[in-house]
Amino acid sequence: MARKPLIAANWKMHKTVSEAVATVRELLDRLGGQAPADRTVLICPPFTAIAAVRDVLEGTGILWGAQNMYPRAEGAFTGEISPRMLTDLGCTHVIVGHSERRHIFGEGNQLINEKVRAAFEFDLVPILAVGEKLEHRRAGLQEAVVEEQLVKGLRGVTAEQARQLVIAYEPVWAIGTGETARPEDAQAMHAFIRRWLAGQYGEEVAQAVVIQYGGSVKPNNVDELMAQPDIDGALVGGASLKADSFARIVQFQ
Ligand code: PGA
């Protein structure tokens, strides 16, 4: 089954409202005013800029989403943002379990699992981020670490839901470091993830799931990454902040 590539920008804690608007306007100019028909483009701004980004992107086919959320519809959770608030803004996707959430903010697999399930409950596509640290890879434990993140992160997720899922494989040592996984190493992990999905949910679901690579994706390495059979997209941090480099990544060959 042909999977539609998903190129997503994760702006992290960057850009004021006016900077965000200027960036998406320039991106649209560079893409000829519309999302390309054969790939999905998603922008995940900081919460404060989502509404302004929506106002620019509405009707262009480019989607917008969030970098995180709290897994409750509403309540006494000072400082948090709910899935209802995100769908109210037209968000289609939410990143869950990003390594910065796991390692800087101490999020564990149980909370991440609640977020995945809440995303499905509220009709948001969760982009579940998984990935090993350098010490794990050096010890040959990368598959075991990622498998544990999948098992615990997807607990209770049905096959019907899993079909909609996006997984982002982001080796922690490659995020923001300029060090990209070699395309063949990334492919090996993506194939491992797809085999795990097939074991859990069946081959048909596994073939439908979009698996993105993330970690220092740049204009000069995106083509060889996207040429791998199980790499279906990119989750882009640093190189998504500038419209020219992100547009080039969107236009991978
Ligand atoms: P990077 O970030 O592209 O700056 O490495 C990727 C990510 O953290 O999603």
Beta strands in 100-239 (DSSP E): 125-130, 166-169, 210-214, 233-236
Q: What is the pLDDT of residue 1?
A: 52
Decide: 10 in ligand 1 pocket, CB within 6 A.
yes
Decide: 233 in ligand 1 pocket, CB within 6 A.
no
pLDDT tens digits along 74-117: 999 999 999 999 999 999 999 999 999 999 999 999 999 999 99
User: Which residues are known to be catalytic?
Assistant: 98, 170
The answer as to whether 73 is a domain residue is yes
Q: What is the pLDDT of residue 49?
A: 98
Average confidence score pLDDT of the chain: 97
Q: How confident is the model at residue 144 (pLDDT cuts 50, 70, 90)?
A: very high
Q: What is the pLDDT of residue 180?
A: 85
Give how many domains the chain has, as a whole number: 1
pLDDT tens digits along 48-67: 999 999 999 999 999 999 99
Q: How confident is the model at residue 10 (pLDDT cuts 50, 70, 90)?
A: very high
Ligand 1 midpoint to CA 18 (Å) = 22
Decide: 238 in ligand 1 pocket, CB within 6 A.
yes
Q: Alpha-carbon dihedral of residues 119, 121, 125, 130, nearest 10 degrees? A: 50
Q: What is the pLDDT of residue 233?
A: 98
Nearest CA owner, ligand 1 atom 2: 237
The domain of 15 spans: 6-250
Please state the rounded mean pLDDT for residues 4-31. 98
Judge whether residue 2 has pLDDT over 90: no
User: How many angstroms separate the CA atoms of 180 and 175, rounded?
Assistant: 8
The answer as to whether 53 is a domain residue is yes
Task: Give me Rg for the CA atoms of the chain.
Answer: 17
Decide: 171 in ligand 1 pocket, CB within 6 A.
no
Please state the rounded mean pLDDT for residues 161-165. 97
* CA dist 188 → 139, 169, 184, 191, 228 (Å): 16, 11, 6, 5, 10
User: How many angstroms separate the CA atoms of 150 and 196, rounded?
Assistant: 9
CATH assignment at residue 18: 3.20.20.70
Please state the rounded mean pLDDT for residues 167-192. 93
Ligand 1 midpoint to CA 81 (Å) = 22
Q: Which residues contact 37 (CB under 8 A, 6 or more apart)?
A: none
Please state the rounded mean pLDDT for residues 221-247. 98
Judge whether residue 179 has pLDDT over 90: no
The answer as to whether 155 is a domain residue is yes
Ligand 1 midpoint to CA 202 (Å) = 30
* Segment among 20-24, 84-88, 142-146, 171-175 with least mean pLDDT: 171-175
The answer as to whether 1 is a domain residue is no
Q: What is the pLDDT of residue 121?
A: 98
Please state the rounded mean pLDDT for residues 158-173. 97
Predicted model pTM: 0.97
Q: What letter would DSSP give residue 75?
A: S
Please state the rounded mean pLDDT for residues 232-242. 98
Tokens representing 18 are 């006016």
The answer as to whether 132 is a domain residue is yes
Decide: 249 in ligand 1 pocket, CB within 6 A.
no
Residue pair 135/172 in contact (Cβ under 8 Å)? The answer is no
